[in-house]
Amino acid sequence: TAGNRIFHFGACRVSMSMTEIRAGFTAIKANIQARDPIRTLSILSYPHSLHKVKSSDRCCITHHLFNFYVDRVFKHCKTEDSYVNRKISSIANSFLSVRRKLRQCNEHNQCMCGQESTEKFKQILANYEGLNVTSAAMKSLGELDILLDWME
């Protein structure tokens, strides 16, 4: 479909509706980020940016992050605003299909995890678990553009 992008992680190729996800996030970005009062901590970028991850570890960290968003973020981001909720579920659906493809790559040993990506993901989970679930999930959702910018 229009706006689909093919991401190459070595032998693993994943198609993703990036334009659709970006549009969905842009529509709710101000609303979601306004719910996150904590300026001093980033879930994805603390202490080091995703941009520091070695390219050989990109598939693994991407796989971890898509699992993270599906299992620990979207489901904890219910708001009182039905428009925002619809956008969140639309993004979640896109993430579900990408996760499925990344899982297939993993099953075919095309998405190997090095120590760096394992350490980086442990840090992300530590940042997440340092907050209560709703705050952590909302902050993670507000950082979706950090993930998308890094992927692109």
CB of residue 44 vs another protein: minimum separation in angstroms?
8
Contact call for residue 42 and another protein (CB under 8 A): yes
Rounded distance, CA 127 to CA 130, Å?
Answer: 5
Q: Which of 8, 13, 15, 26 forms a contact with another protein (CB under 8 A)?
A: 26
Strands (E) in 1-152, as ranges, are 4-9, 12-17
15 Cβ contact list (under 8 Å, min separation 6): 4, 5, 6, 7, 101
The DSSP 8-state label assigned to residue 109 in this structure reads T
CB of residue 94 vs another protein: minimum separation in angstroms?
13
Q: Which of 7, 9, 12, 22 forms a contact with another protein (CB under 8 A)?
A: 22
| Residue 8: φ, ψ to 5° | -105, 115
Contact call for residue 152 and another protein (CB under 8 A): yes
Contact call for residue 23 and another protein (CB under 8 A): yes
Residue 108's Cβ-count burial label (10 Å; 0-12, 13-18, 19+) is: exposed
Helix and strand numbers, DSSP H then E, in the chain: 6, 2
CB of residue 6 vs another protein: minimum separation in angstroms?
12
Contact call for residue 46 and another protein (CB under 8 A): yes
Footprint on this chain of another protein (rule: CB under 8 A): 3, 5, 18-19, 22-23, 26, 29-30, 33-34, 39-42, 45-46, 49, 51, 142, 145-146, 148-149, 152
